[in-house]
Amino acid sequence: MVKKKLITAAVATAAALTLALAGCSGTGAKGGGGSASAAPDNKNIKICVYTHGDGGTFWAVAQKGAEDAAKTLGVTLDYQGSTNDAAKQASTIEAGVKGGCSGIAASAPDPGAIQSAMKSASDAKIPTVTINSGSSVYKELGAFTHVGQDEIVAGRQAGEKFNELGVKKILCPIQEAANSGLTDRCKGAAETFKGKVQEFNADGALADLNGAQAKILAALQADSSIDAVFALNADVATGAVLPAVKTVGRDIKVGTVDLSADALKAIDAGTLQFGIDQQQYAQGYMAVQLLYFAVKDAIEIGGGLPVYTGPAFVTKDNVKAVQESVKEGLR
């Protein structure tokens, strides 16, 4: 299934829920669920989305999803990233609790660092969800659901894909040492891959792609048995891994998690074998919408279970269709 259809389906489902709730409400324009005509009345609802994001390729799309949902619903949005600074993210959440957030969405790559802040939100009776990372810990953080993909599942499916490619040893560079979701991707791949998965410390790679390229190149040159790399970020894949593989000069298959315009071009060219799409636009959009339901109608979507937006694979077979979404601002 291609990305455009998946995102359309996810957002259409959320939109259908909005209309259904509007129909069920007996309070007219100010009732639950809302409608386009009631949007101005919702400015008093402040939805806060506080992530560990850096505002780069991936997170800019997640932010657009949140902004589009806020515009549709007519709510006030406070979106802030923390550039992988867990202490900053925690303080932002604390400030949001005191600053009038009606609902809070937070990513949780380092759940222990934000646990106290999330408890403050729970104590203040503010509904919360986790977004992007936190699928295994959202309940411990007081969130009623998680919006994203299960990273272990994504890793397992990547392992199966590498099996299909016929490789024997995978290098798995981790670009954020404190991000448990990244290690989960490597662990998931190791569960299904028939060969060996070697985790590799590439901490800080996003801040220094040239440095990461040199480290990965050295690892590939030192071990000629490595015939695949599982990149955990599209920018790392295209900015560090692919240049290193080109320099080595041997047949090394590369797959990545997440997409970018450059990654899609590499998939189309055949230098990148696949990208795992977790649909960050849908994550941003649905986080805002689910919190809106919780605030406006006291409805917690998900039944206590995660709301999954991925994983989905983009390969050379469907990349042309996926590239269309770039023009629409969904990638």
How far apart CA 256 and CA 158 sit, in angstroms, is 9
The pair of structure tokens assigned to 322 is 């996926």
- Is the pLDDT confidence value at 33 over 80? no
Burial 179-216 (b: 16+ CB within 10 A, else e): bbbbbbbbbbbbebbebebbbbebbebbeebeebbebb
How far apart CA 180 and CA 199 sit, in angstroms, is 13
Whole-number pLDDT of residue 277: 94
Count the neighbouring beta carbons within 10 Å of the beta carbon of residue 48: 28
pTM for this one? 0.80
Whole-number pLDDT of residue 39: 52
Residue 56: which pLDDT band, with cuts at 50, 70 and 90? confident
Half-sphere exposure of 8 (CA within 13 A, CB side): 10
- Is the pLDDT confidence value at 205 over 80? yes
CB 309 within 8 A of CB 284: no
Report which of residues 147 and 331 the model is more confident about.
147
Fold (CATH) for 151-277: Rossmann fold (3.40.50)
pLDDT tens, 227-268?
Answer: 999 999 999 999 999 999 999 999 999 999 999 889 999 999
The strand ranges marked E within the chain are: 46-51, 76-81, 103-106, 128-132, 146-148, 169-174, 196-201, 228-231, 253-257, 274-277, 307-308, 312-314
CA distance readout (Å), 175 to 105, 115, 213, 289: 24, 23, 12, 31
Residue ranges per domain, the chain? 3-149+279-310, 151-277
Q: What is the DSSP string of 99-113?
A: TT-SEEEE--SSHHH
The pair of structure tokens assigned to 187 is 């662990």
3-state DSSP assignment of residue 243:
helix
How far apart CA 84 and CA 329 sit, in angstroms, is 24
Report which of residues 17 and 98 the model is more confident about.
98
The listed CATH number (3.40.50.720, 3.40.50.620, 3.30.110.30, 3.40.50.2300) that belongs to domain 3-149+279-310: 3.40.50.2300
Q: What is the DSSP string of 197-220?
A: EEEEE-TTTTT-HHHHHHHHHHHH
pLDDT tens, 113-138?
Answer: 999 999 999 999 999 999 999 999 99
